[in-house]
Structure 1
Amino acid sequence: MSTALHNRRPVITGWSAVSPHGIGAQALVDGLRAQRPTGAPVDTARWRVPAGRAHLVPGFETREVLGKKGTRSMDRVTGLAVTAVGGLLEQRGSVRETETGDRAALVLATTTGSAASMMDFTRSSLEGARPYDVDPAVMPNAVMNCAAGQCAIWFGIRGPNTTLAGGRAAGLLSVNYATRLLSSGRADAVLCAAAEEFSAARYWLERHSRGAEAPDVPLGEGAAVLLIQPADAVGPERPALAEILAVRSRVATGKQVRGAFEACVRSALDAAGVRPDEVWAAVSGEAPGRLGQLERDVLGEVCGPRTLERVPAVGRLGDVSSASASFQIAILLATTSERPEAAGQVALVTSADRDGSLACAVLRLVAS
């Protein structure tokens, strides 16, 4: 592979998160280091769900975190996304011009947007005296790309604005989309985010769609965001954290999933020019039930079982669904930044969604 081609590969130069460990990247780093559990009993009166456990962002209330201006009708998933993006942009004390404006893009991974907002808005139309007796201020929340649009409005991100609905694979699909925006010259920096909220609507949708194999996996919530830039944009304020070597995806269901997932992993490794025995860490998506076990089995067979032990599992945050892959990368960066042996090593990040989407990204960690 030529040096010129290698230098054109995009890199991750920053990240932040709003997680069950708290708000901000440092909260996730500290929580992982201390191995603190994040699950807690659900307030059944507030959330209108049966007694159980969930992994919620502690004390997160949108208006308390973001202020009262512009947040009266903002739903929870939008609040989580805006908070995470703001946390990344303001890490250095001020927002850099190159990370906002006309040449900055934002890509948001999701499953459906806010299921709670969609259902609440529809319910108000059905229960009102007339179908149009609804609160117009709530209408934008029922649109899937509301969170991405609000992030752009809040921070002046005027480049391409995209919402990708892909379930658990959405985070890696958004990384691939971000690299395409950069390679085509459509943007100079891409904020690649993912967000998932906890709500009664999401709880009941998951409960009735999972089936019997993983009924008790508690839900989690949060948002994670990566800053992806061309390699030549790296500087002292935003050093490269990881190089994106390749992203590949497949679609398969039923008995074809195992073969397709292995083919996806091997295709990504081939595209990256990496042998399976060169993989240092494999970070699986921890899908609930048999699919998650299949994912781990294939990674163990292809790359070796030890690769699965080097990075904490995203499942410690609960089932964060479409935010899983972004959190997988955030956890990878959070736990390897202070480990000298990780510098220069290759990591695989994979996702498998029950609806058939499969994805794999190959990253090379960069010395801090």
Structure 2
Amino acid sequence: MTVAAPPVRRPVITGWASISPYGLGADTLSDGARERRGTRVPVEAEQWGVQARAACLVPDFDPRALLGRKGTRSMDRATGLAVATVGMLIADGVPNGPGTGLVIGTTAGGLNSAWTTTQDMLVGERPFYIDAAKIPYVIMNGTAGHCAIWHGLQGPNTTVAAGGATGLTALNHARRLVVAGRAERVLCGGVEEFSPARYWVESLADPDAVIGEGCAMVVVEDDDGERPALADLVAVEFGVARAGELATALASTVRGALARAGVRADEVWGASPGGSGAIAATAAAVHEEIFGSDAVAAVPPVDLLGDTAAASGAFQLALVLGAARPEHAGRYAVITSADQHGAFACALLRTRGPAEQRGGQR
């Protein structure tokens, strides 16, 4: 008996959405980043309970006001950001149901929910005198699970926590789910909130960090010709560098990804180096050495949004997609993310042209 070979699946990105310090929606992010507008605002100590000088906050974000009062009484800020962003994609025509999966990247899930719940157990009259409605948000995968329940996403549901490489790790997991036929499409990205707990944790690592928040999501699906595509997902690769060797290891991985894909450096129109502080400077130098300063300047820097931690790679994807123009059709973009522990990731995208997209950006 002859067994038919399984179909070859080619993952593409067909849409994206975001909630960022520029506001709600993809257009606000693209326009604000293109104009290089700053997003830092003073942090009101009375509202937030911390003495941070500034942060990059989503303006006037209130889950109850945006999503309605039902089901949002105890919803934490990160889950509200993710539910609202996924909702934008569903409203734009992304089908829900059993064929749609979800991959969300985070640093530690609902950190503030865990912080306050632990505090209530320690100082309350009884350890079990806590708000039970907050418990789902204490668990790291609570945000992804709540998004799936809220929007009826019945495909694979995954939470990823991989430090600075989280955004591209989520992208790679989405790619694998699509290629393996485990899902028809996957919504993937990252989310981080500004909260007292996150401020204290981040400030211990870097007292000078300007914390950012938001959520960015892309749609990864098989290129079956049914939906317009924005970019082909050519490669996602990972590595770990020893102390002081990030530049060498990152350059080797980027060049290796290009070589395996048969792509020349002069075919890359946009380069997005990630990371923060010295890590970002090292990554930017690697990108400029390989692709030139024009390619780096073509994509707005992710640090316009502040330190978005696990969501930074997802925002880099969004910034690349938002910066793509018709003249970039058939050319490539490279995204790298790295953190202080030496983990890094590299993604290679091929930008689609208007004819190939069979439509436009959703």
Please tell me the TM-score bracket, short chain as reference.
over 0.9
Deviations 1:243-293 (A, max 9, x none): 1000000122412322222222123223322122322211111x2221111
Q: 1:105 to 1:51 in 2, by over 3 A?
A: closer
Is 1:90 aligned to 2:91, yes or no? yes
Is 1:190 aligned to 2:186, yes or no? yes
Q: Which residue of 1 aligns with 2:246?
A: 257
Q: 1:51 to 1:191 in 2, by over 3 A?
A: closer
Separation in structure 2 between the aligned mates of residue 34 and residue 351 of structure 1, nearest angstrom: 23
Separation in structure 1 between the aligned mates of residue 322 and residue 272 of structure 2, nearest angstrom: 13
Separation in structure 2 between the aligned mates of residue 221 and residue 151 of structure 1, nearest angstrom: 18
**Given that residues 34 and 300 in structure 2 are in contact (C-alpha distance below 8 angstroms), is that contact kept between their aligned partners in structure 1?**
no
Separation in structure 1 between the aligned mates of residue 19 and residue 287 of structure 2, nearest angstrom: 28
Is 1:296 aligned to 2:284, yes or no? yes
**Among 135, 141, 146, the residue aligned to 1:150:** 146
Deviations 1:43-90 (A, max 9, x none): 111111214111111000110110001111110000000000001110
Q: Which residue of 1 aligns with 2:3?
A: none
Is 1:64 aligned to 2:65, yes or no? yes
Q: Secondary structure in 1 aligned to 2:132?
A: coil
Separation in structure 2 between the aligned mates of residue 267 and residue 118 of structure 1, nearest angstrom: 41
**Considering only aligned residues, what root-mean-square deviation do their CA atoms show, in Å?**
1.6
TM-fit CA distance, 1:37:
2.2
The letter of the residue matching 1:230 is D
Is 1:201 aligned to 2:189, yes or no? no
**Among 339, 344, 348, the residue aligned to 1:358:** 344
Using the aligned pairs only, state the percent identity.
47
TM-fit CA distance, 1:33:
4.1
Separation in structure 2 between the aligned mates of residue 230 and residue 32 of structure 1, nearest angstrom: 29
Q: Which aligned pairs between 1:111-122 and structure 2 lie closer than 5 A? A: 111-122=107-118
Is 1:245 aligned to 2:246, yes or no? no
The letter of the residue matching 1:155 is H
Q: Which aligned pairs between 1:228-239 and structure 2 lie closer than 5 A? A: 228-232=220-224, 234-235=225-226, 238-239=227-228
TM-fit CA distance, 1:201:
1.0
**Among 301, 310, 318, the residue aligned to 2:298:** 310
Separation in structure 1 between the aligned mates of residue 63 and residue 18 of structure 2, nearest angstrom: 15
The letter of the residue matching 1:329 is L
**Among 156, 171, 175, the residue aligned to 1:175:** 171
**Given that residues 248 and 267 in structure 1 are in contact (C-alpha distance below 8 angstroms), is that contact kept between their aligned partners in structure 2?**
no
Deviations 1:144-164 (A, max 9, x none): 001100110011111100000
Is 1:329 aligned to 2:321, yes or no? no
TM-fit CA distance, 1:34:
4.0
Q: Tell me, which stretches of 5 or more residues in structure 2 are unaligned?
A: 1-7, 355-362
Structure 2 length-normalised TM: 0.92
TM-fit CA distance, 1:168:
2.1
Is 1:224 aligned to 2:219, yes or no? no
The letter of the residue matching 2:332 is V
Q: Which residue of 2 aligns with 1:29?
A: 30
**Given that residues 63 and 80 in structure 2 are in contact (C-alpha distance below 8 angstroms), is that contact kept between their aligned partners in structure 1?**
yes
Q: Which residue of 2 aligns with 1:106?
A: 102
Q: Secondary structure in 1 aligned to 2:313?
A: helix
Deviates more, 1:70-79 or 1:301-310: 301-310
**Given that residues 109 and 323 in structure 1 are in contact (C-alpha distance below 8 angstroms), is that contact kept between their aligned partners in structure 2?**
yes
Separation in structure 1 between the aligned mates of residue 287 and residue 10 of structure 2, nearest angstrom: 25
**Given that residues 81 and 193 in structure 1 are in contact (C-alpha distance below 8 angstroms), is that contact kept between their aligned partners in structure 2?**
no
Deviations 1:305-326 (A, max 9, x none): 2211111111111111111111
Deviations 1:210-261 (A, max 9, x none): 3xxxx323111000110011111x43xx411011000000122412322222
**Given that residues 85 and 193 in structure 1 are in contact (C-alpha distance below 8 angstroms), is that contact kept between their aligned partners in structure 2?**
no
Q: Secondary structure in 2 aligned to 1:254?
A: coil
The letter of the residue matching 1:150 is H
TM-fit CA distance, 1:332:
1.2
**Given that residues 37 and 304 in structure 2 are in contact (C-alpha distance below 8 angstroms), is that contact kept between their aligned partners in structure 1?**
no
Separation in structure 1 between the aligned mates of residue 79 and residue 157 of structure 2, nearest angstrom: 15
Deviates more, 1:158-167 or 1:305-314: 305-314
**Given that residues 17 and 25 in structure 1 are in contact (C-alpha distance below 8 angstroms), is that contact kept between their aligned partners in structure 2?**
yes
Aligned length: 348
**Given that residues 18 and 214 in structure 2 are in contact (C-alpha distance below 8 angstroms), is that contact kept between their aligned partners in structure 1?**
yes
